[in-house]
Amino acid sequence: MSSGKVVFPGEELCVEEEFMPGSGAYVDENGFVRAAVLGEPIYDMASRRVSVRPLTRRSLLPRQGDIVLGVVSGIKEDVAIVKVLGFDIHAPFKNPITGLLHISQISESRIESIYDAVRLGDLIKAKVLNNYIPLLLSTKEPRLGVVLAYCSKCGAVLVKESSGLRCPSCGNVEQRKTSIDYLAVVRRGSRKG
């Protein structure tokens, strides 16, 4: 029986007692049957097996040149690991897709430390450079980069000023490779003190 829906790799399909995993599915250590590929789950009632028919249309996955939104979920040496959430904030993917942002793809200008450009929890807008997972990302263009960042000291949303990103709560100033579309901006003349 075709369900007509699409599942992402890792998505739970059922428990092992209900259906055994067929092609494109596997059982995790807790006995949940999960999709191994992006595709359509097929539940075979006769054999009590669930398989995942791989999606051949790639339209649901970001492709080379697409602009995506993601959250920095880890930083390892010169690479930021990004949970790619969707094409925009209003159309999230069902499950986040893993993306990688290498320090050489962050900015046109040279970056000494990746922490001067992105940090954990930052919301970024990036361009996709490839057609497979993990997505390889770039934020070099002016419209790309961090669109929302949080203070490393107190967690408040950082506000963009000419000198960088300033925390309105504790006064901490941080640097990022920001997008020209950064969301929290102080309008000229409205800054206090």
Min. distance of Cβ 150 from Zn ion in angstroms?
A: 8
Q: Which residue type is seen at 162? A: S
Count of residues that interact with Zn ion, criterion CB under 5 A: 8
Q: For residue 36, what are the CA distances in angstroms to 9, 20, 55, 121? A: 5, 13, 12, 27
Residue 172 contacts Zn ion per CB under 5 A: yes
For residues 164 and 174, the answer to whether their CB atoms sit within 8 Å is yes
Residue 170 contacts Zn ion per CB under 5 A: yes
Q: Which residue type is seen at 13? A: L
Among 97, 117, 167, 179, binds Zn ion (CB under 5 A): 167
Residue 152 contacts Zn ion per CB under 5 A: no
Min. distance of Cβ 180 from Zn ion in angstroms?
A: 23
Q: DSSP readout, 98-148?
A: EEEEEGGGT-SS--S-GGGT--TT-EEEEEE--SSSSEEEE--STT-EEEE
Q: Which is nearer to Zn ion, 52 or 118 (CB)?
A: 118
Q: Which is nearer to Zn ion, 89 or 154 (CB)?
A: 154
Among the residue ranges 6-14, 78-86, 118-126, 149-157, the one whose residues contact Zn ion (CB under 5 A) = 149-157
Residue 151 contacts Zn ion per CB under 5 A: yes
Residue 173 contacts Zn ion per CB under 5 A: no
Q: In the sheet that 20-21 helps form, which strands lie side by side, from edge to edge?
A: 20-21, 49-54, 39-44
For residues 39 and 55, the answer to whether their CB atoms sit within 8 Å is yes
Among 37, 169, 175, 183, binds Zn ion (CB under 5 A): 169
Contacts to Zn ion by CB under 5 A: 151, 153-154, 156, 167, 169-170, 172
